[in-house]
Amino acid sequence: MRKVAVIGVGNSRFGRRDDAILQEIAFEAFKEALEDAGITQEDIDLSVVGSVGTRLYESLPAVPINEYLGLVGKGPIRVEAACATGSAAIFTAYNAITSGCVDTAVAIGVEKMLEVDTPTSTAVGGRGGNYLWEFHMFGTSFAAYYALFATAHMAKFGTTEEDLALVAVKNHKYGAMNPKAHFQREIKVEDVLKSRVVARPLKLYDCCPISDGAAAVILASEEKVKKLKVEDPVWIEAIGFSSDTSSLSRRMDYVGLPAATQAAQMAYKIAKVGPKDIDFAEVHDCFTIAEIMAYEDLGFCKKGEGAKMIREGETYIGGRIPVNVDGGLKAKGHPLGATGCSMVYEVTKQLRNEGGRRQVPLKNYVALTHNVGGHGFYVYVMIFRR
Amino acid sequence: MAAQERPTIRSRPLTLVHEIPIARIKRFWDGLKEGKVYATKCKKCGQLYYPPQVDCFKCLGSDVEWVALSDEGVIETFTESHLKPQGFTHYEEPYIIAIARTPEGAKVMGWLEGISADKARVGLKVKITTTIKPDGYPAIVFKPTETS
């Protein structure tokens, strides 16, 4: 199988982007990625657009985006995998290259979520579970789904609301240092505990914001990397994937995401590394409980010991394995389709030692991304090396 | 930074309301009116499905029997939701979404009523009932059968 490298990354500012339409924020990320790679549209063979798109007035967003970016004739393929859409777009671009079909491909993740009101956004999201058997009768939302996991995790392992708050505190600390983050201010445990209840035990500050944003990742084959004389390629060592039921009632338990464990094991096996070899990780902290479950599902600690990791500060810069040092979904924001690409943006910058004030120490030059769609419907775990 | 008024234009409205065919799953929806929660069981291989489905993905058979689940459940997890998605904004109070396990091993989602979220707990024994809400939509409702 041909090797594939990340040769350029771009990330728009995340947040309430009522200054721009979908195409315009996609352009922001795409332009930065092109300039980062030092190439033009001419060098790109395929465009893959990742957008969940269910809140948009454009029904088929990939086409207008492709047109706006000057990519007519290069794809596009529209990809959707709920909140893991960005990773699915990268996976699609990666496969087109490993197969020998193309030499260079761009994955563009983009989402506008704030053009509709909050009850509409909550409904569109909640209907992304299993409409007929869950939303229709019970008005489920993703905050409620993750709250169901939080309740079960707390009951089984003694995880507390303070533990959940510690995740938010960490991620806000790094968000405050990220000029592209939706929330750029630090918070304290008391702020989280005092914030209004959204879906008990989750409070407002346990939840990622509803955000607009875009991120772009340009991939190339090893031959193309040589031809373009790319100085600092970041290699995709492995992509692991798995999935789970849409109906929460068909799960074995509510204390972890089996698809994440399966995707991680697949990625570790392909990359021939283990959790101990990972220098740092970007994980899917859409809600604080999700980051604690991610530590466990990825094997950074034993099942049930996720809370202990955050209590002991192991996932801060300088800790055993820094996690979400860009602010995570929690503080940087979570524009669904953009998130997976934004994780790879951060990993690429960090592996190149371009992390600035947030630079993590690199030992093995190996990093991991963990991107979850829904409550574990889709999971992609990717491993990168420089 | 002062809040800035940014110019916008309004999209043409789009209303989506679906007529959902329930010809093959009518037993379930009728059951809710009779106070019962139905699952399906594959007649060929015995696989139990909840939520019910009329095609068996294990043996690919499409001959299933409808089985009413026991009305005894044990709460596996719950949340009191203060978030009201579109379609639920007319419910004034927060509602408790819970999952209860039945003796058959099925897990059923429902609204937990008759207990406050402070008193609810994982492991709570409940009676599984059904109701038609004032807005005409059916719901599965769990009622505690023990004090917390």
Distances (CA, A) of A326 to A28, A172, A183, A336, B33: 19, 9, 11, 16, 51
Distances (CA, A) of B58 to A249, B46, B49, B53: 18, 10, 11, 12
**The one catalytic residue among A83, A207, A208, A341:** A83
Which chain B residue lies closest to A252 (C-alpha atoms)? B107
- Full-prediction pTM beyond 0.90? yes
Q: Is A101 a catalytic residue?
A: no
Task: Tell which residue, A265, A57, A292, A155, has the closest CA to residue B8.
Answer: A57
Distance from the first to the final alpha carbon of chain A: 19
Answer whether residue A79 is part of any domain: yes
Q: Is A208 a catalytic residue?
A: no
Please report, in tens digits, the pLDDT of each residue of chain B (148 residues total): 455 679 999 999 999 999 999 999 999 999 999 999 999 999 999 999 999 999 999 999 999 999 999 999 999 999 999 998 999 999 988 999 999 999 999 999 999 999 999 999 999 999 999 999 999 999 999 999 987 6
Answer whether residue A83 is part of any domain: yes
For chain B, the domains span 22-68, 70-148
ipTM over 0.90: yes
B70-148 maps to CATH 2.40.128:
no
Task: Tell which residue, A73, A74, A58, has the closest CA to residue A22.
Answer: A58
Answer whether residue A376 is part of any domain: no
> Which residue range(s) make up the domain with A62?
4-116+210-227
**The one catalytic residue among A334, A341, A370, A375:** A334
Is A122 near chain B, with CB under 8 Å? yes
Q: What is the pLDDT of residues A125-139, one digit of tens each?
A: 999 989 999 999 999
CATH of the domain at A97: 3.40.47.10
Are B91 and A139 in contact (CB < 8 Å)?
Answer: yes
Answer whether residue A56 is part of any domain: yes
Q: How many domains does chain A have?
A: 1
